[in-house]
Amino acid sequence: MFKFVGIRQRRPFRDFDRASILVPVTGDSSDDQVIALACELLDSSHGTLHILYVIEVERAFPVDAEIAPAIAKGEEVLDHIEEVARKGKCNLEAELVQARHAGFAVVQEAADKNVGRIVLGCSYEKGLGSFSLSHTIPYILKNAPCSVLVWQDSFQLDDPEELASQQRMYKHDTIEL
C-alpha cells in the first residue's frame, strides 16, 4: 500500500487535530526512540500515530515507478516500527509513499491528515566535516503546518582516530586545578 505525492497548493490555516502525531521514519537508529517518544506524547485513548516512510524517486524515473528494493525496505522498516509502536499501546496507521522530495511528502501528509505535531529523528551525520541536518529536516521545519519536534541521536565516536582528534581539539579548553 503506497501512494504518490504530487504538487499541491498550500492550504490556509486550519484547526489541527492535537491528538494526532505524524512520525516520518527512515530505518536509521533514531526511529525506535522517536516512536517511543511519540507514543508518550500521544493521548493513547483517542489519538492516532501516523507513521510515514517516504521513498524518494529520482527525476530519471516517473514518480509512480515501482522500485522493488526500496518498497521492500520500506515495508520492512514499517513492520519493525509497527511492532515498536504496539509496545507503546498506540493507535497507529502506517503508510508508504513515493515522492521526489521527502520533506515535501512529510509536510503534505501532515496537512492531509490534519496532525497536530510532527516528531522526527535525526542521527548524527557529518557533511563536509561538520554536523549536518541534510536537506529534509530544514524543509520540514520551514514549511510544516503544525509544530515540529526533532530528536537527535546521542553523539558517539566509534573511530579511535576521530575520538583522538576531538580530544586534541578541545584539550586547550581544559583547566587543571
What local confidence, expressed as pLDDT, does residue 110 receive? 94
1, with CB counted inside 10 A (0-12, 13-18, 19+), is exposed
Q: Is residue 177 included in any domain, yes or no?
A: no
What local confidence, expressed as pLDDT, does residue 132 receive? 66
Alpha-carbon distance of 112 to 13, in angstroms, equals: 12
**Which position has the grid cell 522530495?**
101
Q: Is residue 25 included in any domain, yes or no?
A: yes
pLDDT band at 153 (very low <50, low <70, confident <90, very high): confident
How many domains does the chain contain in total? 1
Task: Decide which of 172 and 150 is more confident.
Answer: 150
Q: At 132, which CATH number?
A: 3.40.50.620
Question: What totals of helices (H) and strands (E) does the chain contain, helices first?
Answer: 5, 8
For residue 134, pLDDT beyond 80: no
Q: Is residue 105 included in any domain, yes or no?
A: yes
Q: Is residue 38 included in any domain, yes or no?
A: yes
* For the chain, percent of residues with pLDDT exceeding 70: 70
With contact defined as beta carbons under 8 Å apart, do 138 and 102 qualify? no
Q: Is residue 3 included in any domain, yes or no?
A: no
Q: Is residue 152 included in any domain, yes or no?
A: yes
Q: Is residue 153 included in any domain, yes or no?
A: yes
Q: Is residue 163 included in any domain, yes or no?
A: yes
pLDDT in tens, 19-75: 799 999 988 888 888 998 898 888 767 789 999 999 998 888 888 888 889 999 999
Range of the domain at 85: 14-171
Name residue 61's amino acid: F
